[in-house]
Structure 1
Amino acid sequence: MADVHPPLHATARFSDRVDDYVRYRPDYPPALLDWLQREQGVDADWQVADVGAGTGISSRMFLDAGYPVIAVEPNAPMRRAAEGWLHACKAFRAVDGRADATGLADASVDLVTVAQAFHWFDEDAARREFARILRPGGLVAIWWNSRRLSGTRFLEGYEALLQTFGTDYASVAERYADDGRMRAWFGAGLRGSACFAHGQQLDFEALRGRLMSSSYAPPVGHPQHEPMLQALRELFDRCAERGTVSFDYDTRIFAGQLV
């Protein structure tokens, strides 16, 4: 969400999907933060800069564990959603900034986090900016929920639905970093990586909201919107058990220093 990459216009493409994003996007598994603390020595007195923070899902995870968090987010509706949700947390503030221009002071943070946003960044520019704002010995942690594409009738059907109806689904999917790219980005500074199973149990309303939170889902008024929702209803009815479907992820994380 942090840097414009025509024709995707990443800083603005979620503006009309904020409500669904807040209500239906998944959080991250508790094992992820446990791993950062246990394996990487991340401590609750570390200042966190959550870059591409969106509506604050990742920021909330750190705030709940006692960390001070600065959410860096260029999309105004998403940033306002984070502020509305997290304003009662005294250790939280949000700023209008991008991955290549956070607006934060030199050597002012201990941990830069990027959750579900790195694929929108200019990777070289982000690396320079992260190195500038990190204190000596500081870490970068990058993670994302990777939706499983196969393994159940529902997962396979959902992927087929996106291939059929997604407006620029293939272009967005191609942007996600793979393990090799992440290792190359960290280089000699990589300190570790991990993968954790995660998921959501969704009734139809939640499944609809999860789909509509995706930037490539045709919005209301688009000629593919109603056919997409009809196909989603049919998929849900075929696959639901006890009124829900399992929306399964693998949460991948990479952490290291910038050397």
Structure 2
Amino acid sequence: MTRTRTRRPADRRAHGHLHGHGHASGAGGIGVRETYRAGRYDRRRERRMRRRHGRHGSVLPFVLGAFIAAAFVGGVIVYAVIKLIPYLVLAAVLLGVFVLLKRSFRSCSVDAGPAAASVPAPESGLQAWQRAKAEFDALRVEYTAHECDPMQVLRRPALSDVSVPSTARFVDAFAEAQSLDTDAHPGAPYDAAFTVAVAKARRAWQAALDAADRIRLSNVPTHERGSIERVLKLLTTARDSDSEHERLAAYARARSELDRLDRAGIVHLPRTARAAVDEASRGALPG
């Protein structure tokens, strides 16, 4: 069965025109053909435009849907990240602390070996006694220098006053250490007792010095502080003067003032300090 193609009006007009005017001149035939071809071109272009618009119209909803879905997913991700930021920061901090502790532990483990190897051997009883002996000799020299110098006694009268608690504790500790002092190593357990006594005396001496520096002349009546200052000036003049007469006169006046202060109970010079003043007042330079 043969399908008969129905001609469109434009085709019929073109066909009839061709058959009806077949005898037309060559120029007229060319014009008819051009018209026919232009019509076919217009129809084809119209069909292509319809197909193109139809395709775009079907794709556009999918594009819009994909865009909306992507925006929704992105919003969900951003919201989740914002909510998780505190937990992420906390996790980062904990991780950093863990790393630091781990490194510190490793460094301590590495350093522990050499440190443990460099620990000195324990001190023997003889070595401890020798060290304590040297410390006590130095303490005795320091204490004796104070007791023999009247100017030091006047500047720190509390250091020679056993009514001051810190001075009394030092005197007792010094006497205890001195009673255990020997020229040769006494052996155990006396060497250990001497070492302990010397350490106690050294601490008591430092405490007495600190207390005397704080007290100074605060225990001396106000009207007598000037007398002590005058005695210090007289002793300084006697020590530094090149004139024998001036030096002896200064020592004599200082001795007289010290006697008065001693009788009044203001300042009591130790016997060694008083002996130094007496010797200097007789014309000999103080030792």
TM-score by length of 2: 0.24
Q: Which has the higher strand share?
A: 1
**Which of these two proteins has the greater Rg computed from alpha carbons?**
2
Q: Which has the higher helix share?
A: 2
Identify which of structures 1 and 2 has the higher relative contact order when contacts are C-alpha pairs closer than 8 Å and 6+ apart.
Answer: 1
TM-score by length of 1: 0.26
